[in-house]
Structure 1
C-alpha cells in the first residue's frame, strides 16, 4: 500500500525478463498531461515552501515509520503534491498502453445502454492513480467512437492511511473547470472545461489495511471490479508479510469476476525474502506474483489467470516543457497485466 511506503527497494537487482530498459515516448497528449498537473497544482498548491515538510516525510519513509509519514494532514498534502503528479502522468501512459486489453470491459453496457468501468486501486490513496485514470478516461472518451454521455468511470481507492480529504479535493478538481484570470479571453473561457464531467466519474475512498482479515467492504469492491491495480505497493506488502500478501492475492483471485484485469506496477528488480525450513532466500517479486496467480505445474486449462503482458523494465519520461511548481521525476518500472480466466460459473 502507499502508506506502507512507496520507497524503492535497494540491493542488487537482476531483472528476470527483459534486461534492457525501454525508453517510452509518451502517447498521451501534451495538453492533457499539463491539465493533469494543473489539477494537483490547483488542488494542493505545492510550493518550494514545502521543502522542510518534504524532508520530514522522506525521513519517516526512510525509517519505515509509515504511521508518522502519513499521520498528519500536512504530510499527506505534501506527499500527494510532491510525488503523485509524476506518477499520475506515468499511470495515464500505462493505462493508455493497456487499453487494447481492456476494450471488451470498456465497451460493455447494461440494459439501459449505460457503461460503468469499475477500478479498484490497492494502495491508491495518494491520488496518482485517481488523476492518472481520469486523464486516461478523458482521452478514451475523446477517441472512442462508441463513447457517449452514458460512459462512467467508478474509482475505488483502498489505503491504510486516511487519504479521504485528499481524494475529495482531487475529485473536485477533476470535475471542476480550472480558475481563469479575470482577464482571460472569451475564447479561453469558452474552452475552459473540467477534465471530466461529474456525471462521468465517481470516486470512493476506503480506509482498510488489506493485510488484515478481509473486510466485507473490500470484498464488495473486488466483486464489481473490471480492473484491480497495485501500483508501487505489492513489494512493500511482501516486505511487510509474505503470508498475508499471498492471502490477499488469493482473495483477489477468488473474488473478482471472469474477465476482470489485475495490473501490477512496481520498481524494477524488486526482490522479497522467503523463509523455507529456517533458511531465507530472495525471489523476484514478479516470480512470486506469477507463481501465486498462475501456479506453474498445473494444466494450462486450469489457470485462473491469463498473463497478458509482463515486462521487467520500462521507462516513462515526461516532456521537459511541462510546467509544475516543483521538479517532476521520470519513472522506471516493471509492469504485469493479468486477466481472470473464465470461472465456469
Structure 2
C-alpha cells in the first residue's frame, strides 16, 4: 500500500487494534444453522434509526446478526488458515506486521502472501464481524435503497454490485455474512456435490476489491472456504451429515481483486471501474490513510468518485474514531490536524460551489448517517476464536448520491 504513506500521528488503517474488552469466549455455540430470512420471513416493525448521543458517550453498534452466524464466519477463517490454530507460533510474524503498520509502511506489512495471511488471521475477523453488523443495520434502516433491494433480489436476476476501495479479507467475509443472513437461497445445500452438474448460477453479489496490496490469494482461499462444506468428524451423526453444507452456494458471491494505487486513478479509469449499476461503494478504514497521504489528492479522488457513481448509490465510510490528518507539506507536530469527518463533509456536503464564476448552493450527496463516535462491543459469551476479538471504536458515515 505504497500510496498510503502515513504520517506517524495519523490513525492507521491496519494498526494495532484496541485492546479494550477482548472477547475470549468459552466453547463455540451449538452447530445448528442460524436463522435465515427466506420467503416465509415475517417482517418486523421498521426499527428506529440510530441517533448519535448528545452526551459525549459513544453510540453502541448493535449485534444485528445472530451469534451463531457470526461464529460460522469465524470458523471459515479458522478452517481456511490452519496456522490460526497455532497462534503462539504466529507471534513473531505478527510482530513484524504490526511494527510495519505502526510505522505506516504498508508495502512492508503486506509484501508477501505470508504477511497478508498473517494479517487476515489476526485482524480481519474482528473487522469482518464489525462490517457485517454495520451493513445489516444499513439494510434495516435504509431498506428502500437500491443496495438493500438488490441484495434481497428486488433487482431481478442481476447481482448487487459492490465496490470496495481498500478492500480485502474483512470485506469479503462481511459480505458473505450479510448474504447468508438476508438470502436463504445464498446458503449452501446439503449433498450439493452429489447433484447433477449444471451451469453456474448468476452471482447474487458481485464484489470488486481495489487495494495497493495484492489480496487475490487470500480472497481466493476465503472464497473456496465459503463454498466448501467444513470437514466432519468421523463420529458425526447421520443427522449432522444430512445437514452438512457449505456457508454459501458456489458462485453466489463473485469476487474480483484489482491491485491499484487509488490516488493515481484518472477520471476515465475510475469511470471504467465503477459499474453504471453499482449500488454500494465502501471505504472501510481506508479514507483517512488517503487523507494522510495527501488531503488534496484524496479530495480530488472523492470528487472523481462523485462524478462516476450513479444516482441513489450509497457510499459507506468507516474509520477510526478521532481520525485526523495534517495539511499537505506540513510535518507532524507542526500543523493542526483536520478531523477526517470535517474533511469528508467539506467534499460531500459543500454549502456552495462555483458555477460560471458565481457561488450557488449545490448538493450531490445526501447524508444518511453521520456518527463520529460509535462502539462495537463483542458479546461476553458465544464467540470463540484463537486470536481473540477486540471491541472497536469507530466513526460511521453513510451518503446517498442524489
TM-score range, shorter-chain basis?
A: 0.7 to 0.9
Paired residue for 1:156? 208
Distance 1:3 1:275 in 2: 14
Distance 1:25 1:2 in 2: 35
Structure 1 residue 151: deviation in Å?
Answer: 7.0
TM-score for the superposition, normalised by structure 2: 0.75
Distance 2:229 2:361 in 1: 49
Distance 1:38 1:2 in 2: 32
Instruction: For residues 44-75 of structure 1, give each alpha carbon's deviation from its aligned partner in whole angstroms, at most 9, with x where no partner exists.
Output: 22131111100011111122221111102111
Distance 2:154 2:318 in 1: 34
Match of 2:337, SS state, is: strand
Structure 2 CA distance for partners of 1:300 and 1:193, relative to 1, 3 Å: farther
Distance 1:110 1:139 in 2: 13
Of 275-284 and 92-101, the range deviating more from structure 2: 275-284
Structure 1 residue 287: deviation in Å?
Answer: 0.9
Distance 2:58 2:323 in 1: 15
User: Paired residue for 1:283, among 317, 338, 344?
Assistant: 338
Match of 2:134, SS state, is: helix
1:240 aligns with 2:293: yes
Paired residue for 1:57? 97
Contact kept in structure 2, 1:314 and 1:333, CA below 8 Å: yes
User: Paired residue for 1:179, among 220, 231, 234?
Assistant: 231
User: Paired residue for 2:261, among 197, 203, 209?
Assistant: 209
Give ranges in structure 2 of 5+ residues lacking alignment. Answer: 5-11, 18-51, 187-200, 354-358
Q: How does 1:111-122 map to 2 (within 5 A)?
A: 113-122=156-165
Instruction: For residues 260-303 of structure 1, give each alpha carbon's deviation from its aligned partner in whole angstroms, at most 9, with x where no partner exists.
Output: 00000000111111259998432210111111112123599731
Distance 1:314 1:112 in 2: 32
Of 19-28 and 268-277, the range deviating more from structure 2: 268-277
Of 222-231 and 89-98, the range deviating more from structure 2: 222-231
Contact kept in structure 2, 1:3 and 1:161, CA below 8 Å: no
1:138 aligns with 2:218: no
Match of 1:181, SS state, is: coil
Structure 1 residue 220: deviation in Å?
Answer: 2.8
Distance 1:42 1:18 in 2: 43
Contact kept in structure 2, 1:3 and 1:70, CA below 8 Å: no
Instruction: For residues 176-232 of structure 1, give each alpha carbon's deviation from its aligned partner in whole angstroms, at most 9, with x where no partner exists.
Output: 222221221122222222222123211110001101133866433323421000011
For these two proteins, the number of residue pairs brought into alignment is 332
Match of 1:154, SS state, is: strand
RMSD: 3.1
Structure with larger RCO (C-alpha < 8 A, sep 6+): 2
Structure 1 residue 175: deviation in Å?
Answer: 1.7
Contact kept in structure 2, 1:36 and 1:135, CA below 8 Å: yes
Match of 2:183, SS state, is: helix
Contact kept in structure 2, 1:159 and 1:209, CA below 8 Å: yes
Structure 1 residue 87: deviation in Å?
Answer: 0.7
Structure 2 CA distance for partners of 1:18 and 1:211, relative to 1, 3 Å: farther
Structure 2 CA distance for partners of 1:172 and 1:214, relative to 1, 3 Å: farther
Distance 2:226 2:335 in 1: 46
Distance 1:191 1:68 in 2: 43
Structure 1 residue 328: deviation in Å?
Answer: 1.2
Paired residue for 2:109? 69
The structure whose residues are more often strand, as a share, is: 1
Paired residue for 1:315? 375
Structure 2 CA distance for partners of 1:220 and 1:178, relative to 1, 3 Å: farther
Structure 2 CA distance for partners of 1:142 and 1:244, relative to 1, 3 Å: same
1:88 aligns with 2:95: no
Structure 2 CA distance for partners of 1:75 and 1:9, relative to 1, 3 Å: closer
Of 163-172 and 222-231, the range deviating more from structure 2: 222-231
Distance 1:39 1:192 in 2: 14
